[in-house]
C-alpha cells in the first residue's frame, strides 16, 4: 500500500461524530466478520483515553492487548495510522523507535491501529485490531470505519 493511499483513507474515513453506540457498532462489525471468516483477532475502540469496546476471540493471546496498546500509542502520538507510520519511516530508511526516541515496549509501528477522526475536531481516538498480518489488521479496522459511514 502507498503512503498517499493511506492518507486518502484517513481523509475519507473522517466521521461527522463518534458516539459510544458507534464504537459498539464498529466493534461488533469486526467481531461478526472475524467469526464469519474464522479469524482470531482482538479489537479495541478508544475515545479520549476511554476504552469503549474490547473483545478477544478464541485463538488470541493476552499479548494481543499489548500489541493493541502499543499500536494505538503510535496513532495517538502522530495522528496517522500505525501502518502509515511504519511505511513512512521505511521510506526514509530509518527506525521508528530511534527517530522518535520512544521505547519499543510502549510503541509498535505495525499496522492495525487507525485514527478515529471527527470533522472539525481531529483525532479523538483509535480503532485497533491485532491477531492477523499488519496489513489485514489495518484493513479490518478500515472496513469497520467504512461500515459506520454507510
Over residues 51-80, the pLDDT tens digits come to: 999 999 999 999 999 999 999 999 999 999
Under a CB-based contact definition with an 8 Å cutoff, are residues 111 and 82 in contact? yes
Over residues 107-131, the pLDDT tens digits come to: 999 999 999 999 999 999 999 999 9
What number is the average pLDDT over the span 28-47? Answer: 98
Query: Which pLDDT score is estimated for 77?
Result: 97
Cell triple for 145: 470505519
The count of other CB atoms within 10 Å of the CB of residue 47 is 19
The count of other CB atoms within 10 Å of the CB of residue 49 is 8
CA 129 to centroid of chain Cα atoms: 6
Query: Which pLDDT score is estimated for 1?
Result: 82
pLDDT of 150 strictly over 90: no
Give the global pTM: 0.96
pLDDT of 85 strictly over 90: yes
Amino acid at each position: 500500500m502507498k503512503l498517499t493511499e493511506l492518507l486518502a483513507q484517513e481523509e475519507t474515513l473522517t466521521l461527522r461524530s463518534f458516539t459510544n453506540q458507534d464504537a459498539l457498532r464498529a466493534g461488533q462489525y469486526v467481531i461478526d466478520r472475524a467469526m464469519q471468516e474464522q479469524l482470531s483477532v482482538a479489537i479495541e475502540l478508544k475515545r479520549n483515553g476511554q476504552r469503549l469496546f474490547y473483545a478477544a476471540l478464541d485463538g488470541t493471546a493476552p499479548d494481543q492487548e499489548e500489541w493493541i496498546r502499543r499500536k494505538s500509542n503510535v496513532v495517538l502520538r502522530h495522528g496517522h495510522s500505525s501502518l502509515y507510520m511504519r511505511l513512512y519511516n521505511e521510506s526514509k530508511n530509518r527506525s521508528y523507535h530511534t527517530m522518535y526516541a520512544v521505547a519499543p515496549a510502549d510503541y509498535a509501528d505495525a499496522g492495525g491501529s487507525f485514527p478515529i477522526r471527527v470533522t472539525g475536531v481531529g483525532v479523538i481516538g483509535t480503532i485497533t485490531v491485532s491477531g492477523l498480518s499488519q496489513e489485514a489488521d489495518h484493513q479490518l479496522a478500515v472496513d469497520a470505519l467504512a461500515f459506520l459511514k454507510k
